[in-house]
Structure 1
Amino acid sequence: MFDSLRGQRRRHLLYYLEERDSTRIEDAARFIAARERDCDPADVPADVAERVRVTLYHVHLPKLAENNIVEYDRRSGAMQFQDPPDGMSDLIDLCYSIEQGDEQRSE
């Protein structure tokens, strides 16, 4: 579980998925790029969102799928939580709270 939460992009993806039943990789990539740039998802340039999508596809989604946290259909680009291990939702919430606190302190 901790390895799944180690990468910031993986954490942002998990925060995004926690709020939805399912999503597509393109939507998640735009959301993550916006978080990283501290802007609205509509303001993320297409090339930036595409670079994030590529790392999700090749790095982060395989790791989360390997750890049985996210189910991902490579053909359709759809993803959703699998039944996460016990305590995973609590860890995701804790990471989110910590990161939100760090962002508020830096403002």
Structure 2
Amino acid sequence: MRGGGFDDGSTDRGEEPEDGAPDLDEFHQLLCSASRRRILYYLQEHPEIPLEELSDVVAGWKAVEENTVVGPRERDRIRVSLHHTDVPRLADSDVVAYDRENREVSLQPLPEPLSRILRESREYERERRSAGADEALPEP
């Protein structure tokens, strides 16, 4: 999935950056999913976490956003989605490491420009929440 349409001169089209980090296009594609953004936000403050705990965090965000209680069935759906979709997608892009056997997720080191984009995205969402925007984003 690397080597998309934006050529910043650091790699030839279609080649992976040498450090294994995603290119800018791929990183933005990762961030276009609210679930993946929130996983990364949480991992910035808790660099290694069991998948079960991460699913509780994501369920908590959902409960706050929808002003409801997330029941066991929905928690299971979230956990399965994290295990089979969101976390593997982040791992395929070398943004997180995922130990499937132990179900541990850990944030991989990101180049400073990508870390800055992630921090600024988090700040933007916090500002929107404090301004009374539609989408709430609880503190980790």
**Above 0.5 in TM-score?**
yes
Q: CA deviation at 1:44?
A: 4.3
Paired residues, number: 104
Matched, 1:6 2:10: no
Aligned Cα root-mean-square deviation (Å) = 1.7
Runs (4+) of structure 1 exceeding 3 A deviation are: none
CA distance in structure 1 between the partners assigned to 2:88 and 2:130 by the alignment: 31
Question: How far is the alpha carbon of 1:48 from its aligned partner?
Answer: 2.2
| Larger helix fraction of residues | 1
The question of 1:26 aligning with 2:34 is answered no
CA shift, 1:85, in A, is 3.4
Q: Which moved more, 1:84-93 or 1:25-34?
A: 84-93
Of residues 112, 129, 135, the one that matches 1:103 is 129
Bigger radius of gyration among the two: 2
Consecutive unaligned residues of structure 1, counting only runs of 5 or more, are none
Which of 102, 117, 120 is matched with 1:76 structurally? Answer: 102
Deviations 1:8-27 (A, max 9, x none): 00011001111113101111
TM-score by length of 2: 0.67
Provide the rounded CA distance (Å) in 1 between the counterparts of 2:85 and 2:111: 21
SS, match of residue 79 in structure 1: strand
Partner residue in 2 for 1:60: 86
Question: Runs of 5+ in structure 2 lacking a partner?
Answer: 1-26, 134-140
TM-score by length of 1: 0.86
Which structure carries more relative contact order (alpha carbon 8 Å, separation 6+)?
1
- Structure 1 counterpart of 2:103, which letter? G
